[in-house]
A and B are shown apart, each in its own frame.
Chain A
């Protein structure tokens, strides 16, 4: 059974039209991450939550926001998607500070901006 679930798998949105991507987890992990991955590039961390503490990467555009209403769910809001925001968005979770514990990824949401 999938432990980190992202919805939808594929999302098409119009230029400038707000879009929300969702992620849920059944692992009860403290940490949830959002990564952006463009073609042939490494996943780029946008932000992460450590429980309810939100941590934004310095170079994450203001256009990207996130919400974590509870342990299980995390949302990525793109307020005004541009063509350059087309990418795969990956959600991942990990337990807090556990040694040698990997991150668990969802299958990703592939965002297309038209």
Chain B
């Protein structure tokens, strides 16, 4: 089983739609979780951290389910500018361990 798994998509949704992505991780000792957004030919940029209690930032909601070892990202009222690849990132936060990236989920929002 891969450390971090995501559905690669693409998810093609109309403007205004609600779309959700899931990401599963294999290491139950993982401590920190993030969603990054990456535009074509650009570097990844942090979209939001994911906290145990769930967190919301405008149209974006992230949830963590430790029991089932997955995190989710919900985007409401999709905009054309939301079109990007969304990367799930997991960190063990113990000493010398690096961030682990999922392969990303591609989203295309269509007018």
Interface residues of A (CB under 8 A from B): 31, 33, 35, 41-43, 45, 48, 50, 53, 55, 88, 90, 92, 94, 96-103, 105-108, 110
Task: Decide yes or no whether B44 CB sits under 8 A from chain A.
Answer: yes
For the A-B complex, the count of residue pairs with Cβ-Cβ distances under 8 Å equals 57
> A residues within 8 A CB of B17?
none
> B residues within 8 A CB of A105?
43-45
Query: Do A110 and B87 touch (CB < 8 A)?
Result: no
Query: Do A100 and B32 touch (CB < 8 A)?
Result: yes
> B residues within 8 A CB of A94?
91, 99
Tell me how many residues of B have a C-beta within 8 Å of chain A.
26
Task: Decide yes or no whether B69 CB sits under 8 A from chain A.
Answer: no
CA distance A31 to B98 in the complex (A): 9
Query: Do A43 and B44 touch (CB < 8 A)?
Result: yes
Task: Decide yes or no whether B49 CB sits under 8 A from chain A.
Answer: yes
The one of A90, A92, A97, A100 in contact with B51, judged by C-beta atoms closer than 8 angstroms, is A100
The interface residues of chain B, by DSSP majority, are classed as loop
Task: Decide yes or no whether B28 CB sits under 8 A from chain A.
Answer: no
Interface residues of B (CB under 8 A from A): 31-32, 34, 36, 41-46, 49, 51, 87, 89, 91, 93-96, 98-104
Query: Do B96 and A90 touch (CB < 8 A)?
Result: no
Closest to B94 in A: A97
The one of A50, A100, A102 in contact with B96, judged by C-beta atoms closer than 8 angstroms, is A50
> A residues within 8 A CB of B98?
31, 33, 45, 48, 55
Query: Do A55 and B102 touch (CB < 8 A)?
Result: no
Nearest 7 pairs of A and B residues by beta carbon: A42-B103, A105-B43, A102-B46, A50-B96, A42-B101, A48-B98, A108-B43
